[in-house]
């Protein structure tokens, strides 16, 4: 979804901005990411997209991101 954006997005800049934002902005980003993914219609589509993302990450990047999905008490 482009949302009417006419210029290419500098994802490296967006990533750096997000990484240096506070926890509220970061949480909002991930909530909206999930919300958008869930609007696609099937969990299969979401799973495939997440698998593509995973495939593009290094092992070190995967390790850093692994802490994002833990549940309290796990």
pLDDT tens track for 3-28: 666 788 899 999 999 999 999 999 99
Question: Per-residue pLDDT for 46 more than 80?
Answer: yes
Q: In this predicted model, which residue has the larger pLDDT, 41 or 62? A: 62
**Could you tell me if residue 61 is inside a domain?**
yes
Measure the CA–CA gap between 52 and 70, rounded to whole angstroms. 21
Predicted local distance difference test score (pLDDT) of residue 61: 96
Nearest partner of 32 among 7, 14, 58, judged by Cα: 14
Backbone angles phi, psi at 18, to 5 degrees: -65, -45
Predicted local distance difference test score (pLDDT) of residue 3: 65
Mean pLDDT of 42-65: 96
Decide: 18 and 29 in contact? Cβ < 8 Å.
Answer: yes
Predicted local distance difference test score (pLDDT) of residue 16: 98
**Could you tell me if residue 29 is inside a domain?**
yes
Q: How many structural domains does the chain have?
A: 1
**Could you tell me if residue 71 is inside a domain?**
no
Domain span at 43? 11-66
Mean pLDDT of 54-62: 97
Dihedral of the CA atoms 72, 58, 3, 10 (nearest 10)?
Answer: 120
């Amino acid at each position: 979804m482009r949302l009417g954006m006419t210029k290419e997005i500098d994802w490296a800049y967006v990533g750096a901005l997000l990484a240096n934002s506070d926890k509220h902005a970061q949480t909002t980003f991930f909530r909206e990411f999930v919300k958008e993914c869930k609007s696609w219609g099937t969990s299969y589509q979401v799973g495939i997209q997440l698998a593509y993302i995973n495939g593009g990450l290094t092992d070190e990047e995967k390790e850093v991101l692994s802490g994002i999905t833990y549940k309290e008490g796990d």
